[in-house]
């Protein structure tokens, strides 16, 4: 198994990095796609890269400016990001969030995403994209950079949007949100996804399984919870589910 979206460099995981990685390895996780979302954590990730690879050899490392953190310094941050491109495997977590708290920064989010897609295009790097109430905007920019692919993290769009992503070689991240039995629309959409588009994620330490301990954090060793729920939801064996997502995950870096 590979956890395709994990914030190893953030508080809650980083201070116990080796133990967290060892727990993941013991649970059957072979690698994590570590996303680093602010300039302050990019160097931390690069310094820690070999330590993670020693334990989880199929890990990959993404750096990007998360849409929550774009600001008037975006151009300086983009220059800094470009200076790291030879030390990372992908660009992420980037994207657009048009939820209530962030809708006022729509224009700068759009600009930041386009600039980072351009870097990905120039350097042939996959992206990990955050899209909240913004799939139409994200798709508009993806169409301008058709050579760029990657993962739509924690997919929550509609079937038509899922179809576009799948047909354009983007993978769709499925995580703990599907463990909520009341998430009827999301579970219905995930059940209907093209199997070639599905990859697994935890988004740890931030997103937890439904009804998990309130004051705890999630970890990449909990990825099997997603696998079990997804195989039940799609009425296939866990072995078959793991084979499907393994092949899909490997395709993220197939052309890199």
pTM: 0.93
Give the C-alpha separation, 88 to 62, whole Å.
6
Q: What is the pLDDT, as a whole number, of residue 45?
A: 94
Q: What is the average per-residue pLDDT within 139-166?
A: 94
Q: What is the average per-residue pLDDT within 101-129?
A: 91
Residue 196 lies in a domain: yes
Report yes or no: 100 and 64 within 8 Å, Cβ to Cβ. no
Residue 256 lies in a domain: no
Residue 106 lies in a domain: yes
Residue 233 lies in a domain: yes
Report yes or no: 130 and 96 within 8 Å, Cβ to Cβ. yes
Residues in the chain: 256
Residue 161 lies in a domain: yes
Q: Report residue 9's pLDDT band, with 50, 70 and 90 as the boundaries.
A: very high
Alpha helices, DSSP H, located in the chain: 17-26, 39-55, 74-83, 106-123, 135-144, 159-167, 184-191, 223-233, 238-251
pLDDT tens readout for residues 155-184? 999 999 999 999 999 999 999 999 999 999
Domain that holds residue 170: 2-251
Q: How many domains does the chain have?
A: 1
Residue 5 scores a pLDDT above 70: yes
CATH of the domain at 131: 3.20.20.140
Residue 225 lies in a domain: yes
Give the C-alpha separation, 123 to 83, whole Å.
12
């Amino acid at each position: 198994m590979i956890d395709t979206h994990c914030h190893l460099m953030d508080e809650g995981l980083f201070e116990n990095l080796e133990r967290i990685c060892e727990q993941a390895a013991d649970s059957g996780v072979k690698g994590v796609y570590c996303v680093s979302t602010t300039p302050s954590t990019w160097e931390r990730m690069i310094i820690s890269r070999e330590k993670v690879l020693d334990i989880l050899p199929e890990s990959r490392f993404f750096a990007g400016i998360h849409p929550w953190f774009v600001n008037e310094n975006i151009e300086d941050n983009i220059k800094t990001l470009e200076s790291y491109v030879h030390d990372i495997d992908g660009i992420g977590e980037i994207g657009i969030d048009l939820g209530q708290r962030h809708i006022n920064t729509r224009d700068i989010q759009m600009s930041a995403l386009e600039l980072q897609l351009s870097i990905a295009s120039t350097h042939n790097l996959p992206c990990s994209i955050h899209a909240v109430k913004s799939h139409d905007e994200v798709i508009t920019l993806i169409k301008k950079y058709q050579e760029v692919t990657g993962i739509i993290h924690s997919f929550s769009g509609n079937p038509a949007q899922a179809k576009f992503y799948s047909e354009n070689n983007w993978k769709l991240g499925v995580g703990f949100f599907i463990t909520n039995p009341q998430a009827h629309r999301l579970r219905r959409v995930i059940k209907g996804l093209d199997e070639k588009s599905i990859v697994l994620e935890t988004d740890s330490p931030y997103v937890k399984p439904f009804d998990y301990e309130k004051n705890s954090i999630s970890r990449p060793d909990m990825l099997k919870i997603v696998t079990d729920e997804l195989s039940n939801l799609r009425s296939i064996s866990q072995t078959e589910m793991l084979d499907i997502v393994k092949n899909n995950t490997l395709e993220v870096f197939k052309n890199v």
